Every structure is written in structure tokens, then in C-alpha cells.
Amino acid sequence: MTSFKFGTLSIGAAALLAGVLGASIATKAGDEIKNATKFGNMNSVTQDLLNRAGGDGNNFLLTNGDYTQSRYFPNKQINVSNVSKLRPAWVFQTEVKDSMETSPIVVNGIMYVTTSFDHVYALDARTGEELWHYKQKLGPITTYCCGPNNRGVAVYEDMVYLATLDAKLVALDAKTGKQVWETQVADPELGYSETMAPTAVKGKILVGTNGGEYGIRGFVKAFDAKTGKNLWTFNTVPESSVGVWATNDATGRDMHRDIAAEKAALAKNGDPYKTLGGGVWQNPAVDLDTNRIYFVVGNPSPDLDGSLRPGDNLYTDSLVSVDLDTGKYVCHFQYIAHDVWDMDAVSPPAIVKVADKDGKMIKGVIHGGKTGHIYVHDAKDCSLIRFSEAMVPQENMWVLPTKDGARMLPGANGGVEWSPLATNPSLGLAYAINLHQPMTYHVESSAYPAGKLWLGGAFKIIPTEEQWGNVTAVDYNTGKIKWQVKTQQPMIGGILATAGGLVFTGESNGQFEAFDAETGAALWKFQAGAGVNAPPSSYSVDGKQYVVVAAGGNAQVDSKRGNSIIAFTAD
Amino acid sequence: MRLVLIAFVAMVASSISHVAVAQSIEEKAAVCAGCHGENGKPVSPEIPVLWGQKEGYIYLQLRDLKRGDRKHEIMSGIAAGLEKTDMQELAKYFSEKPWINLQQKSADAPTASQAQQVASSAQCEGCHLSGYLGDSTIPRLAGQSETYLLKTMSEFRSGARANNAWMVTLLKSYSDSDIAALSKYIAGL
């Protein structure tokens, strides 16, 4: 259970890596080799290095910190007592001034960031100096619901991997930024596109797909890291997508399904699996012990119109686990069957050690939902152990969408949108950022439009109602909210917890902030000049810890655009 | 105008049926120039500017016209004679040409403000991007022919143009006067 040894492993690995890196350290050749075999050749991202990412206080190797997706950075040089001194060390401005959702990845002092429209930059993580810049030449058709976003790269051995708006997976030479190979993941003309960062593990590059707003059939695919060859595909919508005709959601609330009408539609039109949606927006968590991955599957297509898609619409709005080597189904848990509100599952799940119903500590998986609940599962069979108190107001759930619009809270962006959670394993807390955006849900049926936007109606923000957001800490062993901080605007982006007892996150109004992980006390803030709607990362070089975040605004919440990557230090 | 166009289409259709013989892209595109303009300025205000339009958008319109998802008495026939690769080549060819300024007048202040109000509530620029310049499968609208904009938006509203359910639903919630203001405003950008 390497994934749970945050405490001891973090300190050990961080100290040793610092030793390997330190330029002036006069170790004997023998020691160097020993360290090198233990922690990998630092010029190349080995599997060993990735396996230990959760305890690596120098690098930020995976989009959500480590394979468990803890977003818990084990370095405490920046901590509650010195965070007030945090100031920008450098600012890098990209060429693209649009939505930034990138999670900076840092390997041995080199940082990789991406921008809207699929540019990749390699930067010197100490100075922000540009080392190379890659622009993907996009094909004529790119289809995206929510902005021309990209959420970052994956690193593996000597390559950097990017997934693109025109649904390609691209491998770049990490040293030069030159393209090594590219492969078409799916057909963009049918509404497929990529905005997520890929996940690299055991010689495979894993990607999901966007397109739940376009009538795709979703998937997670694995590609060979060296060649780009497709190794396996897991279709998130099985050929029999009907399920058990669940009438209640995961929390036991009635979803007001008209099962008789659905059964009639099924008899008439058959199983709707071919255009049922089920995108996978975010990275899977990887359980190295069991060789399983866990990811969440997005909404069914069309979003608001259930009349064309009878049944539970498996595995949309679900947590799903598959075997890493084969892509074979292991287990799933559906939060909302036959969703007609786009209340889907998008925030990446995290593997944590958690108390089960009897208080026994087991391996669990947590996910922050658009509903505003954090769901806690048993990793063994995906079953639900508990769900947290609602982090945002819920009203009128589950009223069915109407032609003129029915008001329901949360709005269709959540709760928790695609923004990843962070965790602090010693406190047993998960940190989520939330939106409160009152909306009306409108249904208007239309036929499958061959890869074009297919909402089956509309979500409308109610202009007269107040919108806001919050940062919430939830005790995942009890489901209780530990603390909550309200923010001026609905929150989208991400959050990072550190061993320094801190939680970092940003707001649409340009504030980048640090909170006390235990109490939520605001300890520090910085005005970045554009929406901070991206997950922060942390790293250290030459013994100095940095926190880094992108400030580029966001298309989905239309916050002020910018083009900055800002790195902070505390001296 | 209609008669002229129909007469022309017969010519066009016959020239297109010869496409089987290997033709350069210039030869294929020459047919289009008869209406969409030798130098990018369409021969009539009912015909949209094609030069500098977005590649993905042009391709999808030709695809939809061929499939019958979008219908037009002239263009449907023309698209019917095109293969997928023709459509792709034509889309690339026209998108690489410069956008032509039709010298349409800017909207007067009250019209512009009416249009901007609608545009902000409907988040037009959220999709069509700032300045209505479009990208990929989203068309450029800025400076497009006012007559064409009014016609095609009215057809979205009536459902006669049904190849984008979202535009249909969206535009239905506005009045004739809003649509006229939008056409005038966007054409004059």
C-alpha cells in the first residue's frame, strides 16, 4: 500500500532527492549509482520516480500530484508560519491570452505548462525562462463546449504528452519540444475533443474524451508510450446501457423518472448507446497495488432531454474502475441514473485511506460531485460508503426540466465542476472548490445532429440571483464539513494542499490565496490580474520551494483572460 | 435574382458532374466564384462571403447541405456533387483567402445598443469569440453580408435552417426587431 505511506515516505524521498539534486554535494560515485537506481535517472521520468511522486518534495510529476491524485505536496518549507512572506519569484507570459486550466508539471527543475489552443512551453522552473515552445497545428475541426482549454501534459521517460482539441494524442521530445509521434484518438467531426492532461503509467498513456454535449460514445483509451499504438479501449457506455431502472439518486432522492415512458421508448427505438455521451474529462487515479484505475464518467447526451435515451444510461454519471493492463471492467457506481440536468461526475477521483461504515480503515475512493456532495467509496467494489453534507445550497432537486425552464439548485456547473480536489491525509480532510450559480433547466427535444452541440434544451443563469462560490474542507471519515470559506464568485480551477499545513486556490477575480488547512483561516493572498482558474502545483529547485499557478481566466465562467504563469517563493 | 441564380445553377451542376476528371483546386473553386465572387465579393447580398471563412465551418456546411441537414435550392445541388475530399479541399482553399470587406455601414447607436444587449444575454461572443471572428467550426460573423445574416438567422428561427439545434433554440427567444438589429450591427463590424 505505497499509496498510503504519505508521512514516512514523503520525508524520506524528499530528503534523498534533494541529495541527488544538490549540485555541490560530493558523494562518492558508488552512492550516486545507488541513488540513481533507487530513484531513477533524474533526466528521465522513470516509472519508479512516478510511483514515488506522492513523497517527492522536489518534483510535481503527475497532474494531481501522484497516482492517488491526493494533490498533497509533501514539502513544508512554505508553511503556516512563513506563508505571509510569499511573493512572486517570476512571471512567464505565454503567447495565448485565453482560458488557462493547466496543471504545471515539474521535473528536475524543468516546468511544462500548456495554454488554450494546445501550446506547450518548457520553462526553467527557477527563473521562468523559456526553453522551448511547441504549437500544435490544429486540424480544421475542433469542437469544444467550454472553451479552447488544455489542462496540461503528462511526462514519461524522455517524452512529454499532450492531448489536443482536434482529438489527437501527441508525444514530444522533452529536451527539444519536437514532435516524436501523434495519433488520432477519435474523430473530431463527431464531436470528440481532448482538453485533459493524459496520465502516464507503466508504458501506457491514458486519455479519456470530451464530447458529452455532442452525442459521442465516450471512452478511456490506453496508448503505447513509445509508439502511440492503441493498446485498449474501454467504452464508457456499454452496448446494454439500460441498467436497473433506478428511481433514486445516490443520496436516496427521487429523480421523478417516468419509467413506463422510458420502457416504451426503449421498445420503440432500442438501446441508445451509440450516441449516449459519457465523456471522461479528467485523469484516472491509479492504484498501483491492484493495478486498477478509477475515473468518473460525465453526462449522457443530449444533456437535458431524456426522452431519446431510455434507461439508466450506464455508465454516465458514475465512478468506474477498470484493469490497467487490459481496460476490462472491474466495478462501477452510478450517482445519477438517467440524468437530465448535466449533474455529472467530472472532478477527478482520489484514492484515500478512509473509515468504512464500521470505522475500519480501508482503501477508499472519493469524488466531488456537481451535486455538492463528496462521495466516499470502497475501492474494492466501488460501493458507496457515505456522502458528505452538501457544500452548496440544494433546492428543488430533482425537478424535471420544462420548456419554459424549471429552477433547481445547484446550477449545471455544480457544486464541484471539473476542478480537482486536494486532500490532507493526516487531517483526513478533502478540500473542494464550489460554484453557486442558480439556473433554470429547459428541455427542447431535437434529433442527433451528427457531432454538433446537442443539449436537448438549455441551461440559463438566472440573472437576478446572486452567484458566489466557496472553498470547503470535508472530513471524509464522517462526511461532515470542517470549515467553509465563501468567495465572491463561483469557483472553477483547482486546489492544492501541502505538508506546510496550507491549502492554495484561486478565484475568478484574480485572487490567489492560501488558507490554513485545519481552520480555513485566510493567511495570504495575491492579485494575479486575471482569473486564477487553474490548479496550483508546488516544487523545489536548489533547495527552495515554489508554488506555481496559471492566471489566464476561464471561458466557462467568463472570467478575465490573461496569459501568466506565476511562481512564488517565501524569501 | 432567383431566376438568374437558377439558370446559373444548371451550368454549375453540369460543370460539377465533370469533376471526376482530375481537377485542380483552382478549377473546382472556379465554379464557386460565379456566385461567391471572383475576388471574394459575392455577386449578390443574399450570398455569403466565403473567402476567409473558417475551414471547419465551410466543410461542415457543405457536408450538411449534401446530407440534407441544411437545405438551399442552389447550394444543396452543388454540394450533392461533391465528395468528402472535395469539400475538405474547398474548405481549406477558401479559408486561406483573405476576408473581404463589404464596406457595410456601422449600425447607428440605438441599433448597436439593442444588438449588444441581446448579444450579451445570449452570450453570442462566448461561442463566436470576441469580435465575432469565429474559429474552427464556429463561423466568422463580423462583416458578413447583412442581407444574408438576416435571412439565415430568420431561417434558424423558423426552423427552415435546422442544422444547428442550439442556434434554433437560441434565436427563437428573440424578436424580429432584435434579429434585424443584430444583423445590422454584426454586418457593420
Q: Which residues pair with A160 in a beta bridge?
A: A155, A172
- Let me know whether B54 and B134 are in one domain: no
CA-nearest residue of chain A to B173? A404
Interface probe with B: pick from A214, A437, A446, most Cβ of B within 10 Å: A446
Of B149, B137, B163, the residue nearest B70 (C-alpha)? B163
d(CA A190, CA A112): 30
pLDDT tens, A241-272? Answer: 999 999 999 999 999 999 999 999 999 999 99
In this prediction, residue B121 carries a pLDDT of: 82
Starting at the edge strand found earlier in the chain, the sheet holding A544-551 runs A87-93, A564-569, A544-551, A537-541
- Let me know whether B70 and B115 are in one domain: no
Q: What is the CATH number of the domain that holds B163?
A: 1.10.760.10
Q: Which residues of A touch B95 (CB under 8 A)?
A: 140
User: Looking at the predicted structure, is the pLDDT value of residue A193 above 80?
Assistant: yes
In a domain, B104, yes or no: no
- Let me know whether B89 and B6 are in one domain: yes
Of A54, A69, A68, A67, the residue nearest A7 (C-alpha)? A54
In a domain, B46, yes or no: yes
d(CA A283, CA A263): 34
In a domain, B102, yes or no: no
User: Looking at the predicted structure, is the pLDDT value of residue A307 above 60?
Assistant: yes
d(CA A487, CA B166): 32
- Let me know whether B65 and B150 are in one domain: no
Cβ neighbours of residue A535 closer than 8 Å, sequence gap 6 or more: A63, A64, A71, A101, A103, A419, A420, A493, A494, A495, A496, A549
In this prediction, residue A48 carries a pLDDT of: 95
User: Looking at the predicted structure, is the pLDDT value of residue A456 above 70?
Assistant: yes
Other CB atoms within a 10 A radius of the CB of residue A343 amount to 27
Q: How far apart are the CA of A556 and the nearest CA of chain B, in angstroms? A: 9
In a domain, B65, yes or no: yes
Q: What's the average model confidence in pLDDT over A390-410?
A: 97
- Let me know whether B91 and B114 are in one domain: no
- Which range has the worst mean pLDDT, A24-33, A44-53, A299-308, B161-170? A24-33
In a domain, B36, yes or no: yes
What is the share, in percent, of chain B residues with pLDDT greater than 70?
88
User: Looking at the predicted structure, is the pLDDT value of residue A41 above 80?
Assistant: no
Residue of A118, A342, A344, A378 marked active site: A342
In this prediction, residue B21 carries a pLDDT of: 57
d(CA A118, CA A141): 14
- Across A37-41, A71-75, A463-467, B134-138, the highest mean pLDDT is recorded for A71-75
- Which range has the worst mean pLDDT, A292-301, A443-452, A514-523? A443-452
Whether A454 and B165 lie within 8 Å, measured CB to CB:
yes
Partner residue facing A450 (CB), from B69, B121, B126 = B69
Q: Which residues of B touch A453 (CB under 8 A)?
A: 164-166
Whether A141 and B60 lie within 8 Å, measured CB to CB:
yes
In this prediction, residue A26 carries a pLDDT of: 34
Q: How many domains does chain B have?
A: 2
Q: How far is CA A392 from the centre of its chain?
A: 20
d(CA B88, CA A165): 19
- Let me know whether B166 and B115 are in one domain: yes
In a domain, B100, yes or no: no
Contacts across the A-B interface (CB distance below 8 Å) = 56
pLDDT tens, A468-508? Answer: 999 999 999 999 999 999 999 999 999 999 999 999 999 99
Which carries the bigger pLDDT value, residue A144 or residue A113? A113
Other CB atoms within a 10 A radius of the CB of residue A62 amount to 30
In this prediction, residue B22 carries a pLDDT of: 67
- Let me know whether B88 and B23 are in one domain: yes
**Environment class of B4 (CB within 10 Å of its CB; exposed 0-12, middle 13-18, buried 19+):** exposed
Q: Can you give the residue range of the structural domain that contains B124?
A: 109-187
Q: How confident is the model at residue B165 (pLDDT cuts 50, 70, 90)?
A: confident
Q: Which residues of B touch A189 (CB under 8 A)?
A: 60
Mean pLDDT of chain B: 89
Report the run of H or E that residue A49 belongs to, with start and end.
Answer: helix A47-51
CA distances from B32 to B47, B53, B70 (A): 11, 14, 18
pTM metric for this prediction: 0.90
Last residue of a domain, one of B33, B65, B95: B95
Other CB atoms within a 10 A radius of the CB of residue B177 amount to 11
Last residue of a domain, one of B65, B95, B125: B95
- Let me know whether B91 and B12 are in one domain: yes
Interface of A with B (CB under 8 A): 138-143, 148, 165, 189, 444, 446, 449-450, 452-455, 457-458, 463, 555, 558
In this prediction, residue B23 carries a pLDDT of: 83
User: Looking at the predicted structure, is the pLDDT value of residue A16 above 50?
Assistant: no
What is the share, in percent, of chain A residues with pLDDT greater than 90?
89
- Which range has the worst mean pLDDT, A144-153, A338-347, B140-149? A144-153
Q: With contact defined as beta carbons under 8 Å apart, do B32 and B50 qualify?
A: yes
Q: What's the average model confidence in pLDDT over B79-99?
A: 97
Of A154, A219, A137, the residue nearest A185 (C-alpha)? A219
Partner residue facing A140 (CB), from B59, B64, B123 = B59
Q: With contact defined as beta carbons under 8 Å apart, do A169 and A207 qualify?
A: yes
Whether B166 and A452 lie within 8 Å, measured CB to CB:
yes
Q: Which residues of B touch A437 (CB under 8 A)?
A: none
In a domain, B66, yes or no: yes
- Let me know whether B7 and B85 are in one domain: yes
Does the annotation mark A289 as catalytic? no
In a domain, B27, yes or no: yes
- Let me know whether B72 and B118 are in one domain: no
pLDDT tens, A312-324? Answer: 999 999 999 999 9
In this prediction, residue B120 carries a pLDDT of: 85
Name the E strands within B52-147: none
Q: How confident is the model at residue B125 (pLDDT cuts 50, 70, 90)?
A: confident
- Let me know whether B67 and B142 are in one domain: no
User: Looking at the predicted structure, is the pLDDT value of residue B173 above 90?
Assistant: no
pLDDT tens, A70-128? Answer: 999 999 999 999 999 999 999 999 999 999 999 999 999 999 999 999 999 999 999 99
- Let me know whether B14 and B88 are in one domain: yes
In this prediction, residue A24 carries a pLDDT of: 33
Whether B56 and A148 lie within 8 Å, measured CB to CB:
no
In this prediction, residue A390 carries a pLDDT of: 98
CA-nearest residue of chain A to B159? A446
User: Looking at the predicted structure, is the pLDDT value of residue A6 above 50?
Assistant: no
Q: What's the average model confidence in pLDDT over A400-415?
A: 96
Last residue of a domain, one of B95, B120, B149: B95
Whether A141 and B170 lie within 8 Å, measured CB to CB:
no
In this prediction, residue A28 carries a pLDDT of: 35
In this prediction, residue B89 carries a pLDDT of: 97
DSSP track, B121-163: HHTHHHHH-GGG--BTTBPP-TT--HHHHHHHHHHHHHTSS-S
d(CA A208, CA A215): 15
- Which range has the worst mean pLDDT, A38-42, A89-93, A183-187? A38-42
